[in-house]
Structures are given as structure tokens and as C-alpha cells.
């Protein structure tokens, strides 16, 4: 597990402190992270993971990983495996406490039998339409089902027949007998079991009745000895039901449900259903497309677990929904990469420069710092010779007023090398610039004694030594802050058509030839880049993780 960090306090930790003081749970702190394996985890889940596992870590408690797999049709083993990988990658460990709600199907069934025997649940043979009709509305109370007063014996017999597959889907349900006139519609005799003749990814065809989430969840928590069952705000109205089941079954040492505001991020969608749509309809290359807010997408993009954990600490937990600015996530990322990513030079759009007064066969070794933020990361040698490449953008034939880089007759410093001056612009027949002829000032070698100063410093690579690579420049996947804001509109209307730009012939420092998938670098002046898993020895592919500064903020300020 990762180092203990100082997580700021919050209202959930206050509740736990108070419970420890009053000895409510016998000094135990036990949380769980309960994903439904129906998609890949996203950054919102990361918030929940950091919260649940972070509390367990800081209170010397435990946190379980529990797959909430009560919905046989949408769940898959692929998702289970990706969830395990993602939680581990974030730096958390559940030891041997990986559970499935489906592990408890027998116990949950037995609890249901007990509810029936105690007259607290009944079999309803109404159709789905009738159930809906009798439910009432927020302003109108519901109607009791004609089956509500079936005898215990009849209910037991029917429930057994349901379990034994004697009925078709949708013909009967088991309902809790609570209160059809409750202002909380969730308490109007909620369905707790339905018939579904579907294979389950773990239990196969053993069961053809499946428990509903609201029923399975509190009881799974209780079975595992969870003390604090932390979930998102939309479950606040479910809490009376959560408590009702525990009470109706007379269970001791009850877990307490605590709700917090889910993470919403600007320019991002967070619903698994919508993310699945993007994957299935080919808007992205897969769940781990570097533009996806999934943990696997963020990992491939170059995010580090530390940056995500720091982000989670930074946003904290609150009781009210809000939209968090994605800039904050990017800030946490830059902060971490700035400390750890080695600097290198790469040219995305190369423009050849010939240094006319530099000896033909000469090569000099220049010294470059690997990370000015961390001197212990050392230095490296950069070969410098007569032909180099610079960024096309670093030259303007007719310079703007504030352009301090290379232009005809103007001087610029090549980082870690010399000051050069542009003497001649060479063009092809069509008038495109093909190369620049420059001279260098031998007195201005970097680290030397020359006091000469110029306004601009640019990066470069040596033509002889540089190697080719592909760069993938990612931008936000959506063009608006909240793509789901208008329920009338399809969120896919707001997909950014320029969210991926592929540059195939970049030139990079030869040292990078050794880079392995997942390695992260800062390309000086260009941003942080990460080697994509698609990379081969023949062709290195770099994903731009994030730019050096928040370019969007800059645009808004202009
Ligand atoms: P989605 O709405 O994206 O489909 P979900 O809530 O159905 O997600 P689950 O697999 O049920 O997904 O989520 C597992 C846990 O993660 C739950 O405890 C849930 O409350 C939490 N969680 C899900 N989304 C967020 C979010 N955006 N912010 C914080 N926690 C979240
Ligand atoms: Mg859910």
C-alpha cells in the first residue's frame, strides 16, 4: 500500500471519530467499495475508492472490494478483471477480502423467507403495468395490491415455486410489506425479488430469481460486518429502506449508510451507460482510449496513481452536488509529473536548420539536465552538429511584434547549445520554406562565460541522431462544460471533432529509443508525454498526457 498521506478531515471522518468516541461499532472501522461489474471504472469511482480505502488506511480499519453483481444480464468477467486491476493500480489492496453479492444469494434467500414468515413480505402476482399503476405518485398515495394479504403459507409456497423456476419472468415478485401511503415512494412495498431466467456470470443457471439492489446492499454490508457504508447522494432517499431491512430482520451491529456528493467533472461524462455507448458506437477506440475518463484511459494517457489520489484529497467530500473543474485534475497531474518526469527534447513539426559556419564533421556533446526540479535525476549528453531540426512554429518569416524566437536576421538560443542567427530562408518552387540557413556564435556555448543574452530559447534535435516517432495530441472529448446538462439533447452532439490529432513524423532525442510503454517524459516546451502500449521497437507512439500549462484558461483570459 502507498505511503500514508495527510488526508484532510471531512464530515464522514467526523462521523467516524464520533462513533469511535461513543464506541458505536466496538472500535471497528470497516468500509467497502461496491462496484457493479457492468463497465470500466471511471474517475468518479476513483473518488469513492480513495475515500473508502483511504478511511480504512487512516483508521487502521479494513475496506472490502465487493462486486455488486445482482443484475445478471449486464455483467461480465472482463469488467471484474479490469476493476481489480484499476483498484490495485490506484495503490489499494483488499487482501483476501474480495467478495461478490452473488456469494450471498443463499443467505439473501433465507432472509427473504424469514421476512415472509414474519408477515413482512408477500408474493405479488400483479403485472408490471399493474405494479406501476398502483404505486401512486409523489402527491398521491399508492394502492394496496390485491395480493397483499396472502397467507404466510401461500407466500412461502409461491416463493419456493419462483425459485424452482415454475413461473415465467415478470409473473410474480416478492415485495416487502411496508406502507403504500408512505411519502417516500421507495417504501411503498418495494419489490425485493424478481424472476429472471438469465445466466449469471458466477452462479450460472443456479438461480432464476434475483434480489434487488436495495435489498441486497444493506444485507451484504451486514454480512461482511461493514460499519460505514459510504455511497453517493442519490441513495439518500433509499436510506430509510436500507435501515428497514436491517430492522425488520432484527439484525444487530447494523452498518450505517452515509452519503456524499458524487464527482462531476467539467467537459466529461461519468455515466457507465454513456461511456459504453461511446465504446460500442466507435466514438473512441475502447474503454482505455486516452480520452476516456476511465481509470484505464487515464492510465494510458499518462496519469499517475499519485496524481489521482492527490486530486481526490484536494476535492474532498461534500454533501452537495457540484461540477468540479477538470483543470483541477490536470493540475494534480502536472504537479506530480513535474517532480518525476525526465525532460527531453522532441520536435513535433520539424523544420531543418543548417548551421553554415559550423564544421562539417564536428559533433559536440552538450550537457542537459534531466529534471531541474530534482537534481538527483542527473544529466545526459546531447549531440550537437551542423544540421538540426527545430519546431516550425519557432520560426516566423515576418515576425509578429512580440515574437522573440527565430526570424530572418534575428537571434535565438538553442537550449543547452549555442545562440544562432537566421541568415537565409530556403524555399521550394511553391514557396514553402524547406530549410533555414543560420550561423552560430561559438562564444555562446551553454554553460560558458559569454554574457550575451537573447530573448528566446527554443528546443531542437540533432538531424543525424534524432529518431522518428508518432505523437498523439489529445484534447477534451467534449466541447461544452456539461455535455449531459440538457436531457433533451444527445450528449454525443457535443463531442469535440478535434479531440485527437496524430502527428506521424516527429523527431525525438535518440535516448528515447529505450523508452517502454507507460514511461513518462516532459518534452521541453510541449507538454508531458507517455509511451503508448501500441508502441513497438520500430515505431514509438507517444500520447500527450497534458500540456505544460492550462491552454484553455489562457484562451479565456485573452
Ligand atoms: P454510473 O452512474 O457511472 O453508472 P454507478 O454508480 O452505477 O455508476 P457503481 O458500480 O454502482 O456505478 O459504483 C460503485 C461505487 O462508486 C458506488 O458506491 C458509487 O456510489 C460510487 N460512484 C459511482 N460514480 C461516482 C462518482 N461520480 N463519484 C463518486 N463516487 C461514485
Ligand atoms: Mg450503481
Do the bridges between strand 457-458 and strand 433-441 make them parallel or antiparallel, or are there none, so unpaired?
A: unpaired
| Cβ neighbours of 483 (radius 10 Å) | 22
pLDDT score at 551? 56
CB 545 within 8 A of CB 524: no
CATH topology for 354-380+387-458 is Ribosomal Protein L25; Chain P (2.40.240)
Whose C-alpha lies nearest to ligand 1, atom 3? 271
Is 1 buried (19+), middle (13-18) or exposed (0-12) by CB count in 10 A?
exposed
d(CA 38, CA 34): 12
- Check if 272 has its Cβ closer than 6 Å to any atom of ligand 1: yes
Q: How far is the CA of 32 from the centre of ligand 2 (A)?
A: 14
For the CA of 321, the nearest ligand: 1
Helix axis angle, 305-315 relative to 326-340, nearest 10°? 140
pLDDT digits (tens, 9 = 90+) for 257-284: 999 999 999 999 999 999 999 999 999 9
Query: Is-same-fold flag (265-342+469-557; 354-380+387-458)?
Result: yes
Question: CATH classification of 265-342+469-557, choosing from 2.40.240.10, 3.40.50.720, 3.30.1860.10, 2.30.42.10?
Answer: 2.40.240.10
**Tens-digit pLDDT string for the chain (558 aa):** 444 456 778 999 999 999 999 999 999 999 999 999 999 999 999 999 999 999 999 999 999 999 999 998 877 899 999 999 999 999 999 999 999 999 999 999 999 999 999 999 999 999 999 999 999 999 999 999 999 999 999 999 999 999 999 999 999 999 999 999 999 999 999 999 999 999 999 999 999 999 999 999 999 999 999 999 999 999 999 999 999 999 999 999 999 999 999 999 999 999 999 999 999 999 999 999 999 999 999 999 999 999 999 999 999 999 999 999 999 999 999 999 999 999 999 999 999 999 999 999 999 999 999 999 999 999 999 999 999 999 999 999 999 999 999 999 999 999 999 999 999 999 999 999 999 999 999 999 999 999 999 999 999 999 999 999 999 999 999 999 999 999 999 999 999 999 999 999 999 999 999 999 999 999 999 999 999 998 988 899 999 999 998 655 444 443
Q: Which of 44, 236, 287, 295 maximizes ligand 1 atoms within 8 Å of its Cβ, making it the mutation to test the pocket?
A: 44
Whether 214 and 238 have beta carbons less than 8 Å apart is answered as yes
- CB of 112 within 6 A of ligand 1: the answer is no
Domain 11-260 falls in which CATH fold?
Answer: Rossmann fold (3.40.50)
Distance (Å, rounded) from C-alpha 166 to C-alpha 169? 10
Q: Which atom of ligand 1 is nearest to the CA of 37?
A: 10
Looking at the CA of 35, name the nearest ligand. Answer: 1
Mutational pocket test of ligand 1: of 262, 274, 279, 482, the residue with most ligand atoms within 8 Å of the beta carbon: 262
pLDDT value, residue 9: 87
User: What residue ranges do the domains of the chain occupy?
Assistant: 11-260, 265-342+469-557, 354-380+387-458
Q: Grid coordinates standing for 78?
A: 472482463
Ligand 1 pocket member 504 (CB < 6 A): no
Closest to 511 in 3D by CA, of 396, 361, 342, 350:
342
**Phi, psi angles (nearest 5°) of residue 477:** -75, -20
Residue 271 alpha carbon to ligand 1 centre in Å? 8
Output the pLDDT for position 555. 42
Give pTM, 2 decimals: 0.94
* Ligand 1 pocket member 232 (CB < 6 A): yes
Which residues belong to the active site?
36, 262, 272
Please write the tens of the pLDDT for every residue from 197-236. 999 999 999 999 999 999 999 999 999 999 999 999 999 9
Q: Which ligand is nearest to the CA of 37?
A: 1
Which ligand is the nearest neighbour of the Cα of 49? 1
Atom 1 in ligand 1: residue holding the nearest Cα: 271
Residue 73 CA, ligand 1 centroid: distance in Å = 18
Ligand 1: which of 48, 54, 292, 311 to mutate, judged by most atoms within 8 Å of the beta carbon? Answer: 48
CA of 35 to the centre of ligand 1 (A): 7
Q: Cα-Cα-Cα-Cα dihedral of 160, 164, 165, 171, to 10°? A: 0
* Ligand 1 touching residue 31 (CB < 6 A): no
Amino acid at each position: 500500500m502507498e505511503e500514508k498521506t495527510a488526508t484532510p478531515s471531512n464530515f464522514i471522518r467526523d462521523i467516524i471519530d464520533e462513533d469511535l468516541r461513543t464506541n458505536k461499532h466496538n472500535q471497528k472501522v470497516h468500509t467497502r467499495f461496491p462496484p457493479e461489474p457492468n463497465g470500466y471504472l471511471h474517475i468518479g469511482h476513483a473518488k469513492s475508492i480513495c475515500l473508502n480505502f483511504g478511511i480504512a488506511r487512516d483508521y487502521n480499519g479494513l475496506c472490502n472490494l465487493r462486486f455488486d453483481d445482482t443484475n445478471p444480464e449486464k455483467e461480465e468477467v472482463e469488467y471484474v478483471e479490469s476493476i481489480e486491476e484499476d483498484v490495485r493500480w490506484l495503490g489499494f489492496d483488499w487482501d483476501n477480502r474480495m467478495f461478490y453479492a452473488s456469494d450471498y444469494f443463499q443467505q439473501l434467500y433465507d432472509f427473504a423467507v424469514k421476512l415472509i414468515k414474519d408477515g413482512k413480505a408477500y408474493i405479488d402476482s400483479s403485472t408490471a403495468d399493474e405494479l406501476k399503476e398502483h404505486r401512486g405518485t409523489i402527491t398521491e398515495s399508492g394502492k394496496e395490491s390485491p395480493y397483499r394479504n396472502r397467507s404466510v403459507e401461500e407466500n412461502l409456497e409461491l416463493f419456493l415455486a419462483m425459485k424452482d423456476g415454475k413461473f415465467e419472468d415478470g409473473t410474480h415478485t416478492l415485495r416487502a410489506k411496508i406502507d403504500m401511503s408512505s411519502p417516500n415512494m421507495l417504501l411503498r412495498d418495494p419489490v425485493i425479488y424478481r424472476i429472471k431466467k438469465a445466466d449469471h456470470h458466477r452462479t450460472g443457471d443456479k438461480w432464476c430469481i434475483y434480489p434487488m439492489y436495495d435489498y441486497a446492499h444493506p444485507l451484504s454490508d451486514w454480512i461482511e460486518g461493514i460499519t460505514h457504508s459510504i455511497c453517493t447522494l442519490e441513495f439518500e432517499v433509499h436510506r430509510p429502506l436500507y435501515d428497514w431491512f436491517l430492522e425488520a430482520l432484527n439484525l444487530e451491529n447494523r452498518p450505517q449508510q452515509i452519503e456524499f456528493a458524487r464527482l462531476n467533472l467539467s467537459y466529461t461524462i461519468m455515466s457507465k451507460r454513456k461511456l459504453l455507448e461511446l465504446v460500442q458506437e466507435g466514438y473512441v477506440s475502447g474503454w482505455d482510449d486516452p480520452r476516456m475518463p476511465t481509470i484505464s484511459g487515464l492510465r494510458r494517457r499518462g496519469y499517475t496513481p499519485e496524481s489521482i489520489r492527490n486530486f481526490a484529497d484536494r476535492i474532498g467530500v461534500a454533501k452537495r452536488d457540484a461540477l468540479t473543474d477538470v483543470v483541477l485534475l490536470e493540475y494534480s497531474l502536472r504537479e506530480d509529473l513535474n517532480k518525476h518526469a525526465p525532460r527531453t527534447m522532441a520536435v513535433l513539426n520539424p523544420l531543418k536548420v543548417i548551421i553554415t559556419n559550423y564544421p562539417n564533421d564536428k559533433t559536440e556533446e552538450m550537457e542537459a539536465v534531466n529534471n531541474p526540479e530534482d537534481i538527483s535525476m542527473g544529466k545526459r549528453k546531447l549531440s550537437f552538429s551542423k544540421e538540426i531540426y527545430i519546431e516550425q512554429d519557432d520560426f516566423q518569416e515576418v515576425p509578429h511584434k512580440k515574437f522573440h524566437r527565430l526570424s530572418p536576421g534575428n537571434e535565438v538560443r538553442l537550449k543547452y547549445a549555442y545562440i544562432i542567427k537566421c541568415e537565409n530562408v530556403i524555399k521550394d518552387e511553391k514557396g514553402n520554406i524547406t530549410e533555414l540557413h543560420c550561423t552560430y556564435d561559438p562564444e555562446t556555448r551553454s554553460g560558458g562565460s559569454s554574457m550575451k543574452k537573447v530573448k528566446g530559447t527554443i528546443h531542437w534535435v540533432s538531424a543525424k541522431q534524432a529518431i522518428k516517432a508518432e505523437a498523439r495530441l489529445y484534447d477534451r472529448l467534449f466541447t461544452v462544460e456539461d455535455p449531459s446538462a440538457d436531457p433533451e439533447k444527445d450528449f454525443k452532439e457535443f463531442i469535440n471533432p478535434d479531440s485527437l490529432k496524430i502527428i506521424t513524423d516527429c523527431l525525438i532525442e535518440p535516448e528515447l529509443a529505450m523508452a517502454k510503454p507507460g514511461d513518462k517524459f516532459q518534452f521541453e516546451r510541449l507538454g508531458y508525454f507517455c509511451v503508448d502500449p501500441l508502441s513497438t521497437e520500430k515505431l514509438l507512439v507517444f500520447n500527450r498526457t497534458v500540456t505544460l500549462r492550462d491552454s484553455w484558461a489562457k484562451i479565456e483570459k485573452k
